[in-house]
Structure 1
Amino acid sequence: MPYKVFSIAERPDFSQQLNFENDWPEFILYDPVDSAFFGRLPQVFPEFTVVAVDDHEEVVARGYSVPFLMNTPTRGTLPDRGWDEALLWAFSDQGQGIDSDTECAIGVTVRRDHQGRGLSKIMLEAMRQRAFVRGFSELVVPVRPTGKLNEPRTPMSEYVYRTRSDGLPCDPWLRTHVRAGGVIDSIAPASMVVTGSLSQWRKWTGRPFDSDGWVDVPGGLVPARCVMDSDYAVYVEPNVWVRHRLTDEIGEMIA
């Protein structure tokens, strides 16, 4: 099935179809940065919000990216706070009218009934191409490795550098990025942070949270930390920074 990709700036009518079901764990929605900013992306950055549509003009995938200024004395490198910091920088810069020098892709979601058809790759390539057209020299991504869900107790520093016999990453989503030309740069150890009372965590995950220590949570890349005496738990998710250098080869592809 052929798909067409548009930005919300090009087709604002598609903004009404962005809220389809996704595979993110419920607790991630309570990351305070997510709560404050994620829902505003199509309105604030419509040209950086892209959708793939099918023959019936139904949105079957969505991708979000944001621009920010990284090369400043107080920033300068990809942040340890990954996904959260990228959103904070982008909205801060936008509010102050600061010109950006970096584009950051922060999420691709494919509708469940269209998964397994290569749409993630299509969306990633569309975001790379559009970043190139806008004049950025690279697209950076705080990647959430999909296979890490199966190994929450494995350190990300160990997991991320596993490769297959062909030299590509074992993780399927990292592998998609590397095949597209991305290079693994570093780990963002505190890319997303969610805190809540133990009753909240029980509601979000169905886990008892009845003893101190680490608790594996559905959809988590790492365990949450339970502190009984203080009646709270915290989840600190590491992501993986991947850099996509945008070269003239991309320009030739879209010429």
Structure 2
Amino acid sequence: MIDRDRLQAIVREAGRMAMASWPGDGHALEVWEKTPGNPVSAIDLAVDAFLKEELKTLLPAAGWLSEETADAPDRLDGGLVWLVDPIDGTRDYIRGRTGWAVSVALVSASRPLFGLLYAPARRQEEGGEFWHGEAGQGSWRNGKRLQASTRKQLAGARVPAKHLPSEDADLVMVDQPNAIALRMALVAADEADLCATVRWGYEWDIAAASLIAREAGAAVTDAFGQALNYNKRDPRAFGVLVTAPAIHAAAVARLAGRARDLVG
């Protein structure tokens, strides 16, 4: 159906484009706000344009949904769609930090078929972190097959976070990349046991990482414990919850009140 090697090469090249302008290596960058508090850079748009051209050439029948492109309703007409965030974690990117990634997923019938993340600023001695997953086949980071956390108890679970509310004081903080996709992937790599958000987000932020985590054996849902569907008319989801399977029910129960209060 698709040239997997070419797909990976396209995502790697997008990461190299971003890395060539990364302020962490001393490069100057043009940055502005799309909306208050929502920064974007010139390289976000350049990488988005590159991915759109290359991925549409790779699979002309697929639709397109991206953070940096105006939504086109015709994406709902076909069976395949690319979900893309050219730089997930823009804040880390523009500050010269490493917690950002190129995120690409191919979705069919509301489910991801392929998910790819490339974080070239991380593990630079290995050429960056390249994550990929394929439905029913597994997921990998830098060629090593992933196996998600198998933690049995919520108390003591590792969470990518910079601070925790008092009601979560029994959890253990680990490094938190700005990119939600990378935080989700940490559960896939057994470097975290739980990743949760309780807010509205967009499909392009989570589609690739949700497949990578699920194929590694993690439980992946929205904040209410419901299945995530993709390429909806409204491309939002309320929260994401990625956990070791045995603690998922307890995590849903803990988040339920907060989620209900925020949704209203």
Q: TM (normalized to structure 2)?
A: 0.29
TM-score after normalising by structure 1: 0.30
